[in-house]
Amino acid sequence: MLQVKFIKVNVIFSFLLLGVASAAPDLNDLIDALCIVESSNNPNAIGDGGQAVGILQIHPIMIRDVNRILGRDAYTLRDRLDPAKSRMICRVYLSHYGGTVEEMARKWNGGPRGHTKQATVRYWEKVRRVMK
């Protein structure tokens, strides 16, 4: 049983690395822009009444979703204060939900269906301006 879980985690991790490698420039640029828009690159930022924390303003639901995607409790709420872990959380989330750079930015702001919400259009405009 342990071997099966280990293989599953390795396969998921390898899949994510392959997905990230093929989209690395766009995804890295997007994550850099998200950090600026979300917190002005401040890893200690706290917003949304204390719910959004860190450089990427990650909410608790995002941690739960990323852990669900990975099939294990890989990240904790405390990890939101670590810029490297926050970036990896973002990378897992965006790689899983995918889409164009615009769609991924809007999903980061509005959830998995965020790219369909009018409320995320202005957010995308901010991200786009930072990326130029």
Q: pLDDT value at position 26?
A: 86
Report the alpha-carbon distance of residue 55 to residue 43 in Å, rounded. Answer: 4
Q: pLDDT value at position 8?
A: 45
| Domains assigned to the chain | 2-131 (1.10.530.10)
Q: pLDDT value at position 20?
A: 45
Q: What Cα–Cα distance (Å) separates residue 34 from each residue in 18, 29, 55, 71, 126? A: 22, 9, 9, 25, 9
Q: pLDDT value at position 25?
A: 56
* Whether the Cβ atoms of residue 95 and residue 16 lie closer than 8 Å to each other: yes
How confident is the prediction along the chain (132 residues), in pLDDT tens digits per residue? 444 444 444 444 544 444 444 444 589 999 999 999 999 999 999 999 999 999 999 999 999 999 999 999 999 999 999 999 999 999 999 999 999 999 999 999 999 999 999 999 999 999 999 998
CA nearest neighbour of 122 among 98, 114, 52: 114
